[in-house]
Structure 1
């Protein structure tokens, strides 16, 4: 049966994206492996480096900056009040009252490091971690601009987000674990994501009365692992959607602030899970 015009166009687009935009599967795998090696070499007993953003996902997109998350190992976040106190750690407890979904305040539970109080706000005898004071510790002549949870260079080429870690999965996201395992992602991928835990990045809800004390829950590592589980065709679709957003949608004055790449990624995740749940498998 002869190929239709649509099939020919799809194949041509696939080859163009592989040759000129994203690269082959081997090329993407090489980028990811290089990131892993680089992260491991930079990490030490005080911090863990995680290359994130498009490059961390294996995409070298034109005009993209370099996003790096630095997890502070000496600080732990917990959800349960019944926690094991570690004398060598600074420990904070999640406080969800009066916060929007996806955000939490962090109340100091234990610390033998007096310096941490300089980064906290005293409210009725309880000390809450200030995301603003925390970010100021990492601002310098080279990284003087603040971009959301990140400190950035003036040219916007590098974004560094120092963040905190909870080893345990949080209650509000447990539904993601227990829903049907017949859909994407595979059970093994899901378990790896859950074992990693949750990150907290220093940024609050813009305009909130408690913006300085709010921290955004981040599943960046889990999202990266989900992207890693994509077929190459799915990855090309993801790249194509990012290009469409950057080169078409945001150039329209009326749509400039309508969408962001995170929304695009979330929609694609939903579609992958939906298609696999209905069809049982998705080869392309």
Structure 2
């Protein structure tokens, strides 16, 4: 093989080297089981969201590297949003596939646009504000301007966000980069990409091709930089098709893609400032797609991993030399156009060629990979196990799974009817073929919905003056909360305590908090990723995931902003209408001490003071274990509320001021300012 020429020792140990890098990538990128957890939990969550969405809802879809199954350092959080009642069509005959009374139709007009781009003509009236305000008139037709739409779509969800390409981009908590794209959907496959369907002989399989074509595409608001209508054109997005393609890769192919992403970030982008960021992850993904489909690598397996990487790298060099990177679906769309040309192109080619001439030694420049290469070079007889089951412990798999099922998006639950609709959809989905991960995800969703229904039901009958309906609603709410606690997480019991406090059953609420405290004191408790692996395995190792959920797993408390759980937090829930997730996230241990404080105030003031002191120690001194850094805003806020209730206004003032200095994850600054104003008045 050409990349081994002149290095006989490396050639002799090629298989060992490939196996070592394979093991390293499984540690960095994830084993096939971990990747499956990430994908399948997200897929089932989004499938549920789509089933229960109303015609006038906005649909959301995770895209990008996280959706593909990566959790690399620096992996973006990419989200796409589109109005459910708007559809793009390619020609007027496609009207017949819709019930036209409840849809707004948009026609693609790509006669004057470069490949992969189009103008969008509004055919029927719309009430969607972003589209309504982005309309411009050209040639007696109403077009939707991509640049105007992009400006109107910017939501400023987090401080410092900017428009980057078609997305609102920024950084959250200083570590998570995000891209939010508002777009429009099309149920039909683009005619300009029809050649791709006929090109799929060896990969992907026919079932995947049919699924991709059946799901259509999207249009994101960005024009071609050299097109005639740059500020009005939209780009065809194949994001949904791409993550289906990535999911259809075998694990060795996926790890090769991961290695290319790592190599780009840690080696190519470090060559010079002139060429940094000329290439991106999307180019690496396109590379892998083409190489797999062209069947250049005869066998994708751990022992052949670096051969696949090198084929991709050689193709990349060829593309840079020619200045052409063909889009996988529409090859006429050159992804390098207007970006890689002139002196920058020449410099990039020389740098890549220089790396190529070094052979596999160039991988030693990767800080993530070099240790796995060196261990083989220094220990040529080292025995390497490529059995993935032995690479990650049971506890590590459980951390991934329980974090995934706990923090995937929740279905829209505006009222009791929408909750019933969600439960009905879950019942239908349970009857379909599902993986164990997906069944567990639906189990957690069911627990969440029952909790929400319990509080909605109670709030519906409060102050109605009708005793019998109130009594029936109360019994039903209690039953639903207990049911949710039986097959939910340890932390789900906290909703029972909150409900008892809300309904003035303070001793019952304190009884529940005592049970929770005993469970939380277990040495094998898993809270987020914080867990003693040995103790966890001793406590619940080998048991079913359902049992582990009930006995050893806890997460934060999520309060839907439109539902009153604790009256003392109503201001925080109502003051932010901009937060897309519509949820207030609070650390479990903060809520626990808060509820104890609130209940003891009605029973024993000395115990209330003790609960407040415990809360104060937790908020002041926790190192990000029980009070995650991104939830310090609400934690300081709750501490301030408690101080204010006891009359300690100086301590309350300090706590509110601290809340304002934290990362504004929960978007409660307006509530904090109002509480500060109230303090100053007092």
What TM-score does the superposition give when structure 1 sets the normalisation length? 0.89
Quick one: which of 8, 12, 15 aligns to 2:16? Answer: 8
Deviation at 1:25?
0.8
Question: Does residue 60 of structure 1 match 2:77?
Answer: no
Superposed counterparts of 1:185-264, under 5 Å? 185-206=204-225, 208-253=227-272, 254-264=274-284
Contact 1:40 1:49 in 2 (8 A): no
> Helix, strand or coil for the counterpart of 1:153?
strand
**Do the aligned partners of residues 158 and 114 (structure 1) sit closer, same or farther apart at CA in structure 2, a change above 3 Å counting?**
closer
Aligned residues: 278
**Separation in structure 1 between the aligned mates of residue 213 and residue 70 of structure 2, nearest angstrom:** 24
**Contact 1:89/1:111, CA 8 A, preserved across alignment:** no
Distance of 1:113 and 1:140 partners within structure 2: 18
How many Å apart are 1:37 and its aligned residue? 4.1
Of 270, 274, 287, which aligns to 1:267? 287
SS in 1 for 2:69: coil
Compare 45-54 and 112-121 and name the one that shifted more: 112-121
Give, in whole Å, the separation in 2 of the partners of 1:238 and 1:112.
41
Asked whether the 8 Å contact 1:77–1:94 carries over to 2, the reply is yes
1:194-228 Cα offsets, whole Å, 9 max, x none, are: 00001111111235452221100011111111110
Q: Partners in 2 of 1:141 and 1:222 — Cα distance?
A: 29
The Cα shift of 1:48 comes to: 2.3
From 179, 186, 207, give the equivalent of 1:159. Answer: 179
> How far did 1:133 drift?
2.3
Does residue 156 of structure 2 align to residue 148 of structure 1?
no
Mark the structure with the bigger radius of gyration: 2
Higher share in strand = 1
1:124 Cα deviation after fit: 3.1
- Where structure 2 has 5 or more consecutive residues not aligned to the other structure, the ranges are 1-10, 303-682
Aligned mate of 2:43, from 25, 29, 36: 36
Q: Distance in 1 between matches of 2:211 and 2:124?
A: 29
- Name which of structure 1's ranges 189-198 and 123-132 shifts more when overlaid on structure 2: 123-132
What TM-score does the superposition give when structure 2 sets the normalisation length?
Answer: 0.39
Q: 1:91 Cα deviation (Å)?
A: 1.0
In the aligned structure 2, how far is the partner of 1:185 from the partner of 1:235?
14
The separation in 1 between residues aligned to 2:128 and 2:279, in whole angstroms, is 43
Which ranges of structure 1 fall in alignment gaps of 5 or more residues?
Answer: none
- Let me know the Cα RMSD of the aligned residues: 2.3
Contact 2:126 2:132 in 1 (8 A): no
Structure having the higher helix fraction is: 2
Please tell me whether residue 77 in structure 1 is matched to residue 88 in structure 2: yes
Deviation by residue 1:50-75 (Cα, 9 ceiling, x = unmatched) = 11111110010111220011132121
